[in-house]
Amino acid sequence: MGILLNKDSRIMVQGITGKEGSFHATTGMEYGTNVVSGVTPGKGGQTFNETVPIFNTVSEAKEATNPNVSLIFVPPAFAPDAICEAASNEIPLIICITEGIPVNDMVGTIRYVQSKPVRLIGPNCPGAINPTDHCKVGIMPGAIHKPGRVGVVSRSGTLTYEAVHQLTILGIGQSSCVGIGGDPIIGTNYVDILNLYEEDPDTDIIVFIGEIGGTMEQEAAEYIKHHITKPVCSLIVGATAPAGKRMGHAGAIITGSTATAASKVAALKDAGCHIIPTPADIGDVVAKVLANN
């Protein structure tokens, strides 16, 4: 089954005619994703890859093609409006890949999204994938994924790919993989995804990848301790990061003792997680946990 995406997902791509939007819409379709429409203002009436109709607005695309997922590849200055347009049309799942949206712009955007019956993944995320149903929404490389029963959640796109690659090499498949995004303000957090994996009958074990900055990992650890019954293998990166210096993601900055890697590892260990020492150990730790369960 997996989470968020399945064979019934109907994808609308906002910004489908841009360089990134067109490339990843194409790779998604090649993977098997059902892309039903695209949205680019001023280009309504055209088609993408000779089969996908393009519309000027989300409302037009919704009326004509009934999408239930919106994938957003829109520049930072316009991405908040694109998110709000999808939310106002009540597209159930909105995945925004865009990096570099100002935090101040996201404050109002998140408040608006939360007033609607929708879920936002991102921004600044790699998206999500369901290998079993061959549905890929975002920038994850489909070729490295293998259908299986391990759920992956991460703030980092690159570490998601590394985890998946190691698992696949060992013959361990994934039920779903979700990158929640590395910005300070995002639509869906670890707890949200952990809850979905806990309820998913086709996910047996969870791989949880966190990093320095904020307190999301500690909040997730508290949730795991009291609500998650499935094994959780956790990796926290950034152990050698200096305080006060941003490392990669906009949200990856140590601003206090709770934002350090050591604090996060301690919380997850206390929650009963199987700690993954380094990124190179992801596959081996998961394999050992699976062998003992």
Distance CA 183, CA 156 (A): 10
pLDDT attached to residue 212: 76
Q: Is a pLDDT exceeding 60 seen at residue 85?
A: yes
The pLDDT tens digits for 105-115 are 999 999 999 99
The angle formed by the CA atoms of residues 189, 261 and 108, to the nearest 5 degrees, is 30
Distance CA 270, CA 286 (A): 18
Handedness of CA 83, 96, 185, 229 (dihedral sign): positive
The pLDDT tens digits for 253-282 are 445 556 677 889 999 999 999 999 999 999
The pLDDT tens digits for 196-211 are 999 999 999 999 999 8
Greater confidence, 156 or 131? 131
Taking alpha carbons only, the member of 217, 233, 208 closest to residue 154 is 208
Distance CA 34, CA 72 (A): 15
H or E, element range at 175: strand 174-179
Banded pLDDT at 81 (limits 50, 70, 90):
very high
Judge whether 11-121 and 141-291 match in fold. yes
Q: Is a pLDDT exceeding 90 seen at residue 237?
A: no
How far CA 118 is from CA of 4, 195, 232, in Å, comes to 12, 17, 27
pLDDT attached to residue 262: 84
Q: Is a pLDDT exceeding 60 seen at residue 244?
A: no
Residue found by looking up tokens 């301790």 in the block = 225
pLDDT attached to residue 249: 46
Lookup: tokens for 190: 């670890």
H or E, element range at 207: strand 205-211
pTM (two decimals):
0.92
Q: Is a pLDDT exceeding 80 seen at residue 82?
A: yes
Q: Is a pLDDT exceeding 50 seen at residue 240?
A: no
Lookup: tokens for 44: 């309504």
Where exactly are the structural domains of the chain?
11-121, 141-291
Average pLDDT, the chain: 92
pLDDT attached to residue 188: 97
Q: Is a pLDDT exceeding 70 seen at residue 160?
A: yes
Banded pLDDT at 242 (limits 50, 70, 90):
low
E-state strands within 25-92: 35-39, 47-48, 52-55, 69-72
CATH code linked to domain 141-291: 3.40.50.261
pLDDT attached to residue 157: 86
CATH code linked to domain 11-121: 3.40.50.720
Taking alpha carbons only, the member of 41, 36, 34, 37 closest to residue 6 is 34
H or E, element range at 164: helix 157-169
**CA 163 distance to own-chain centroid:** 14
C-beta of residue 189 within 8 angstroms of C-beta of residue 215: no
The pLDDT tens digits for 215-236 are 889 999 999 999 999 999 999 9
Distance CA 207, CA 283 (A): 10
Q: Is a pLDDT exceeding 60 seen at residue 99?
A: yes
Residues designated as active site: 249
**CA 22 distance to own-chain centroid:** 19
